[in-house]
């Protein structure tokens, strides 16, 4: 009997000890909170990483510029045939001069030039500056813009892979320039275009600097350093809204007529018309120190 009582006391003690351990709150484990990573801040290099000052004479430097050629309408019902002739694109007096002419060219009645840096100057982020004086007259449609170097997204090269219009001008709206972005989700063909415009009364009589600042978080467009359109990348966007994380190249051209430039016809008596470019400079995007 004594042994049985002793055994019961031992069992009761063990049970109470286990119960106390089960009821006891867990001992907190000391952990250091993870530090928040501040967003990166960027700036642009002081010196260009790619440039053309047009300090030579003749055809545009073939190490920096190529040509789009032909007169297919270029998706906009345009009226010009693009050539690589000196008469349509030449460098003289320190400037690149792109000229649209009224003349039989290919199957078209106008000739012009469309220069591009693809394979010779392809950029991911940075700041692009183009100092230019624009043509004038109803039917002219000059542009300074970029397209994707490669087809990385979607099933169509355009608009799936993006376009950045640094400057567009239509001659029937003489004192105004436009900036636009085009993506699969945001483009004029489906009525979702993102862009803006600003008055530049002397666009065709004086040189102005048209620029694009391109960072991972936004693209911003300016004239003479005055920003007038910004498009921000957001965390909810996918490639159809923001394909601008791949390389793009620069284009310079004058179109004639077309779905926008020709909305009020083409004045046959204004030609030849030229866009003069004083310089093109591209600055690299770098992290602030």
206 phi, psi to nearest 5 deg: -135, 160
pLDDT exceeds cutoff 70 at 77? yes
- When the pLDDT of each residue in the chain is averaged and rounded to a whole number, the result is 91
pLDDT tens per residue, range 79-134? 999 999 999 999 999 999 999 999 999 999 999 999 999 999 999 999 999 999 99
pLDDT tens per residue, range 128-180? 999 999 999 999 999 999 999 999 999 999 999 999 999 999 999 999 999 99
Q: What is the pLDDT of residue 6?
A: 44
More confident residue, 34 or 68: 68
Across the range 218-243, mean pLDDT stands at 97
Long-range CB pairs of 236-243, under 8 A, 24+ apart, other chains included:
239/152, 239/153, 239/154, 239/160, 239/184, 240/153, 240/154, 240/160, 240/183, 240/184, 240/185, 241/183, 241/184, 241/185, 241/186, 242/183, 243/148, 243/152, 243/153, 243/160, 243/161, 243/162, 243/183, 243/184
Q: How does residue 40 score in pLDDT terms, banded at 50, 70 and 90?
A: confident
Q: What is the pLDDT of residue 35?
A: 60
Residues contacting 203, CB < 8 A, separation 6+: 133, 134, 169, 174, 175, 176, 177
> Which amino acids are annotated catalytic?
163, 168
pLDDT exceeds cutoff 90 at 17? no
Please report, for the chain, how many H helices and E strands are present, in that order.
1, 20
Across the range 51-71, mean pLDDT stands at 98
Q: Is 107 helix (H, G, I), strand (E, B) or coil?
A: coil
Q: What is the pLDDT of residue 39?
A: 74
Q: Cα–Cα distance between 71 and 82 in angstroms, integer?
A: 6
pLDDT exceeds cutoff 90 at 19? no
CA atoms 155, 157, 159, 164: torsion sign: positive
Q: Is 151 helix (H, G, I), strand (E, B) or coil?
A: coil
Domains along the sequence of the chain with CATH: 43-287 (2.60.120.200)
Across the range 201-225, mean pLDDT stands at 98
Across the range 199-215, mean pLDDT stands at 98
Reading the block at residue 49, the tokens are 């990483």
Residues contacting 36, CB < 8 A, separation 6+: none
Q: What is the pLDDT of residue 124?
A: 98
pLDDT exceeds cutoff 70 at 215? yes
């Amino acid at each position: 009997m004594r042994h049985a009582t002793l055994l019961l006391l031992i069992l009761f003690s063990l049970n109470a000890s286990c119960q106390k351990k089960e009821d006891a709150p867990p001992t907190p484990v000391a952990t250091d909170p993870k530090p928040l990573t501040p967003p990166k801040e960027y700036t642009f290099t002081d010196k260009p990483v790619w440039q053309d000052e047009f300090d030579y004479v003749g055809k545009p430097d073939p190490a920096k510029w190529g040509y789009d050629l032909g007169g297919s309408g270029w998706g906009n019902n345009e009226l010009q045939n693009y050539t690589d002739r000196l008469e349509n694109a030449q460098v003289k007096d320190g400037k690149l001069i792109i000229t649209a002419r009224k003349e039989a060219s290919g199957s078209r009645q106008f000739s012009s030039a469309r220069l591009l840096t693809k394979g010779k100057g392809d950029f991911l982020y940075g700041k692009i500056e183009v100092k230019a004086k624009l043509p004038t007259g109803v039917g002219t449609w000059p542009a300074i813009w970029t397209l994707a170097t490669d087809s990385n997204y979607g099933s169509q090269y355009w608009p799936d892979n993006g376009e950045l219009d640094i400057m567009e001008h239509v001659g029937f709206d003489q004192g105004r320039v436009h900036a636009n972005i085009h993506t699969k989700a945001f483009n004029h063909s489906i009525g979702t275009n993102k862009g803006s415009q600003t008055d530049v009364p002397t666009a065709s009589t004086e040189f102005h600097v048209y620029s694009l600042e391109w960072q991972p978080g936004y693209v911003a467009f300016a004239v003479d350093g005055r920003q007038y359109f910004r498009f921000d990348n957001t965390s909810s966007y996918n490639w159809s809204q923001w394909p601008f994380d791949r390389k793009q190249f620069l284009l310079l051209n004058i179109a004639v007529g077309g779905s926008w430039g020709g909305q009020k016809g083409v004045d046959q008596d204004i030609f030849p018309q030229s866009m003069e470019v004083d310089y093109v400079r591209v600055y690299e995007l770098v992290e602030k120190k």
